[in-house]
């Protein structure tokens, strides 16, 4: 199965209204799959961790951080940090631990996904820089998964931007609208504090921009408070 970028993965989560899923690709010319628990082109392979990173878990969202009506995904075991074909924000980086959480609103219409990594060396800062570049280059570019899904990205709304304006040591974010279907939108931020890198995305389906931004602002504020 082809590697599916984050935007497509989020769409799957939203439309299914439950669990997250992801596929990997062994093509060394793009972004190779994880081969061990320390070197990765995407999230660190933590399928057999030697110990739990409690500090990393502490930065993760819980249902108590979201409005009523959300449920946590039951099979959030992997994800992809790509925004379009060959553009993976975690490409070439090393992480010793990873945490992933996914939430969907009962009845559909909104979803939240969070990824957190314990990076090695200076890779947390690189993660944010690579995410910023990918978001710029991927605006309007199909995801490469065969669906043709593409998002046009623009700056976050001022009220949403304000929630992360001084968060962490570096940060980036965008508002995205599906090029093929304007009713699919998202707010996404990537930031780091020390060796911890975090990606948080809030996706809406037929959700008014004001409602999406309000949910994103509350979600991002909760994440920033945990860093």
pLDDT number for residue 206: 92
Mean pLDDT of the chain, nearest integer: 79
More confident position, 110 or 38: 110
Dihedral angle computed from the Cα positions of residues 65, 204, 138 and 155, in that order, rounded to the nearest 10 degrees: -70
Structure tokens at 51: 């110990």
- pLDDT tens figures, 146-200: 666 788 999 999 999 999 999 999 999 999 998 877 788 999 999 999 999 999 9
Q: Any idea where the domains of the chain sit in the sequence?
A: 6-226
pLDDT number for residue 133: 96
**Architecture label for domain 6-226:** 3-Layer(aba) Sandwich (3.40)
Q: Give 31-100 as a 3 state SS string.
A: CCCCCCCCCCCCCCCCCCCCCCCHHHHCCCCCHHHCCCCEEECCCCCCCCCEEECCEECCCCCCEEEEEE
pLDDT number for residue 18: 33
- pLDDT tens figures, 58-87: 999 999 999 999 999 755 545 568 888 778
Under the phi-then-psi rule, with left for phi > 0, alpha for psi from -120 to 50, and beta for the rest, what region is 107?
left
Say yes or no to pLDDT of 145 above 80.
no
């Amino acid at each position: 199965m082809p590697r599916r970028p984050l935007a497509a993965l989020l769409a799957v989560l939203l439309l299914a209204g439950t669990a997250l899923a992801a596929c990997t690709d062994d093509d060394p010319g793009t972004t190779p799959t994880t081969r061990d628990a320390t070197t990765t082109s995407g999230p660190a392979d933590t399928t057999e961790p030697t110990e739990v990173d409690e500090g990393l878990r502490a930065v993760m969202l819980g249902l108590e951080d979201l409005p009523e009506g959300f449920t946590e995904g039951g099979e959030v075991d992997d994800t992809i940090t790509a925004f379009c074909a060959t553009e993976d924000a975690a490409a070439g980086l090393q992480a010793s631990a990873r945490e992933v959480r996914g939430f969907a609103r009962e009845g559909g219409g909104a979803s939240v996904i969070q990824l957190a990594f314990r990076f090695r060396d200076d890779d947390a800062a690189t993660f944010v820089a690579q995410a910023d570049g990918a978001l710029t280059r991927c605006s309007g570019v199909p995801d490469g998964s065969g669906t043709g899904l593409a998002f046009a990205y623009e700056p976050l709304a001022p009220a949403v931007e304000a929630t992360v304006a001084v968060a962490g040591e570096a940060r980036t974010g965008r508002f995205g609208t599906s090029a093929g279907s304007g009713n699919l939108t998202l707010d996404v931020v990537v930031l780091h504090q020390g060796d911890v890198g975090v990606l948080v995305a809030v996706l809406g389906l037929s959700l008014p921009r004001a409602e999406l931004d309000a949910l994103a602002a509350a979600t991002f504020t909760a994440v920033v408070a945990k860093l």
